[in-house]
A and B are shown apart, each in its own frame.
Chain A
Amino acid sequence: MTQPAIQISQIRKRFGELEALKGVSLSVEQGEFFALLGPNGAGKTTLISILAGLTRADSGEARIMGHDVVHDYRAARHALGVVPQELVFDPFFTVRETLRIQSGYYGVKSNDGWIDEILHNLDLTNKADTNMRKLSGGMKRRVLVAQALVHKPPVIVLDEPTAGVDVELRQTLWAFVRKLNEQGHTIVLTTHYLEEAEALCSRVAMLKQGEVVLLDRTDKLLAQHAEKKVALKLVPDSLPLALQAMKCGEQRGAHVLALQDFAQLDGVLATLRESGVRIEDMEVLTPDLEDVFVKVMHGEGRAVA
C-alpha cells in the first residue's frame, strides 16, 4: 500500500480561549484532487499552516508523504507546496528573482527551465523581470502559485487561490492545476466557489468550527445528501393538496418539489393526472455541492472524525 499524501490525525489547536481545531483527522491519498470546504473561521487555514510548519499543533500529528511535519520537517516540507490565502510578496525582488531565491531555499539549482515553464503556464512570461510591487493583485496571486511549485512538490495545497480573482485567471489556474494533477501531483484546495470544488475535486471534507463534519466522495455526497428536485409548470397553476407537503420552493412560476428519489415521481404524476392538472413544462434540478454545504452547515452534519 502506498503512503497517503497527507495524513492528519487528531490535530488540536487552541488560540487562547478559542479552540480552532478540535481533533481533526483525515487523509488524502496520492494523486487525489481533494477539497477542504467550510465557512470562514472553520479552521482551514490553521490546518494548512500546521501542515506547512507555520503553526504548531497542540496535539496530534500530521504527515506529508509519510514524513512527520515536526520531527521530519525537512522531508515533509520538500514534499509540500502551499499557496497561501493572504496576498503576500517580497517587495524587493522581481518575479524571476523571487522564484530563483525560492528554488534555492529548497536546494534546487539552475531551475530556470522549470521556472520558465511555470511562468508560461501561468501567463506570467512577460512579467518575469517586473518588480513584485508593480504587479496587480491577480498577477501577485499567480506568483504565489508559481512560488509553491518551484521545487515540484508531490503535494500541492491551495488556500482559496481564486478568492477575488477574475474569471480568466481562474480558468488559467484550474487548467494548470488539473494538468499537475494528471501528472500525478496530489492537490488539496479550499475555495468559496463550491462549483469549483464540485467540478474539480473527487473527494470533499467539510470543516465546521474546527471539526470535520463530512468527508466523502463528491459524487456520493451529491447522490446522498442533496435532495432530488423537480420544477413543474402546471396548467391550471394549482398544486394539488396532496403534493403541498413536498413543495420546497418556486422557480420562475414553477413549483419545485423535493423527492426522496426519482421513483416518487410516478406518484406525483399520477396525483396530478387524477386532479386534472396538466404539466406544461418539467425540469429536473441537478443537486449541487452548495445544497449539501448549506444543509451540513445548518446543523445536519455530525462529526465524522
Chain B
Amino acid sequence: MTPGFRALFYKEILRFYKVAFQTVLAPVITALLYLLIFSHVLEEHVQVYPGVSYTAFLVPGLVMMSVLQNAFANSSSSLIQSKVTGSIIFVLMPPIAYSEFFLAYVAAAAVRGVAVGGGVFVVTLLFALPPLREPLWLIVFALLGSGLLGALGVVAGIWAEKFDQLAAFQNFLIMPFTFLSGVFYSLHSLPPFWQGVSRFNPFFYMIDGFRYGFFGVSDVSPWLSLTIVLVCFFALSLFTLQLLKTGYKLRH
C-alpha cells in the first residue's frame, strides 16, 4: 500500500465514520422500512422461489440495494462536497497518483457500502433468516458491486459541478436502475418485454448474483452475472482512470 492511497483511504473512511448517523444508520433504517412495508403487503400473496417466504426473498435484494446505493453515495458526495467547498485542492496538490486516488475513493466507498449492507442484514435477521448457501458468491458480488458503484460515484462526483446535478444523476440513473433490477421481484414474474429490458441492466446481475449466494438459486447463472459485472467493473474503472489521468474537471 502506497502512502498516498493509505492516507486518502483513511481520510475517506474517517469522513463517513464521523457522520455515521447519516451515512450508516439512516440507510439501515430506510431499508428496514422497505422490508416492513413490502413484506407486510406482499408476504401472503407472493412466493418467488419455492419454499422461500417473500420476506426472506426480499432480504438479499434490500441488502444489496443498500450496498450499491451507499457505495455510490460515498464517493460521489465526498467529491462533490470537496469540489464545491474548494477543499479538493488538499488531495490534488500532494504527490498522489491518479491510480491511488481512484483506488482510495473506490475502496472507501466499498467499505461504506458493505458496512451499511451488513447493518441491513443484521436488522433484517429479526424478520427472516434466508439460508446462506453460497457465501463465497455473496462476498464476491458484494465487493464487486460496491466497487462498481464506488467507481460510478467517482465519475458522477467528477462530472457534477453542483449538488443538484449529482441529485439528478442519482434520481434519473441510480434509482431507476436499482429499482428495476429485481430487488422486489424475480425477473420471471415480469412480462417478456420487461424481462428483455432488465437483461440490459447491470444492476440486475449484481442483485441476482448476490441473491444466489443466499439461496443457491437465481434467475440467471451466477457465472453469467459474474462475467457481466466483471466486464462492467473493468470498463468503468478504465474509463474513470482515464478521466482522472487527464484531470477532467479537476485540473483545469
Q: Chain A residues in contact with chain B, CB under 8 A?
A: 15, 49, 52-56, 73-75, 77-78, 80, 82, 84, 86, 88-93, 97, 101-107, 109, 147
Residue B197 CB within 8 A of the other chain: no
Closest chain B residue, CB of each to CB of A77: B95
- CB-CB under 8 A from B97, the residues of chain A are 74
CA A88 – CA B94 in complex, angstroms? 16
Residue B173 CB within 8 A of the other chain: no
CB–CB A54/B96 < 8 A? no
Closest chain A residue, CB of each to CB of B19: A92
Picked from A54, A80, A88, the residue with its CB within 8 Å of the CB of B252 is A54
In this complex, the interface size class of chain B, counting residues with CB under 8 Å from chain A, is: 20 to 34
CA A226 – CA B83 in complex, angstroms? 44
CA A82 – CA B93 in complex, angstroms? 8
CB–CB A97/B14 < 8 A? yes
Interface centre among A56, A92, A105, A107 (most CB of B within 10 A): A105
CB–CB B19/A73 < 8 A? no
CB–CB A92/B15 < 8 A? yes
CB–CB B14/A55 < 8 A? no
CB–CB A89/B85 < 8 A? yes
CB–CB B95/A74 < 8 A? yes
Closest chain B residue, CB of each to CB of A79: B95
Picked from A74, A90, A103, the residue with its CB within 8 Å of the CB of B87 is A90
CB–CB B94/A102 < 8 A? yes
Add 18 more A-B contacts to A54-B252, A80-B93 (CB < 8 A): A15-B252, A53-B93, A54-B92, A56-B251, A74-B95, A75-B95, A77-B95, A88-B85, A90-B90, A92-B14, A101-B11, A102-B90, A105-B7, A105-B90, A105-B91, A106-B94, A107-B3, A107-B95
CA A75 – CA B97 in complex, angstroms? 12
CB–CB B90/A77 < 8 A? no
- CB-CB under 8 A from B15, the residues of chain A are 92
Q: Chain B residues in contact with chain A, CB under 8 A?
A: 2-4, 6-8, 10-11, 14-15, 18-19, 82, 85-87, 89-97, 247, 251-252
* Given A89-B87, A105-B4, A77 contacting B93 (CB threshold 8 A): yes
Closest chain A residue, CB of each to CB of B11: A101
CB–CB B92/A90 < 8 A? no
CB–CB B7/A104 < 8 A? yes
Report A93 CB to chain B, min CB distance, Å: 7
- CB-CB under 8 A from B7, the residues of chain A are 101, 103-105, 107
CA A62 – CA B8 in complex, angstroms? 27
Interface centre among A15, A77, A107 (most CB of B within 10 A): A107
Report B89 CB to chain A, min CB distance, Å: 6
Which 10 A-B pairs have CB atoms at the shortest separation, nearest pair first?
A104-B7, A107-B3, A105-B94, A88-B86, A74-B95, A77-B95, A90-B87, A55-B252, A101-B11, A88-B87
15 contacts between A and B (CB under 8 A): A52-B89, A52-B93, A54-B93, A54-B251, A77-B93, A78-B95, A90-B85, A92-B19, A104-B8, A104-B11, A105-B8, A105-B91, A106-B3, A107-B2, A147-B90
CA A73 – CA B252 in complex, angstroms? 16
CB–CB B3/A54 < 8 A? no
Closest chain A residue, CB of each to CB of B92: A54
* Given A86-B86, A88-B86, A53 contacting B19 (CB threshold 8 A): no
Picked from A49, A53, A92, A109, the residue with its CB within 8 Å of the CB of B18 is A92
Interface centre among B90, B96, B251 (most CB of A within 10 A): B90
- CB-CB under 8 A from B90, the residues of chain A are 88, 90, 102, 105, 147
CB–CB B251/A55 < 8 A? yes
- CB-CB under 8 A from B251, the residues of chain A are 53-56
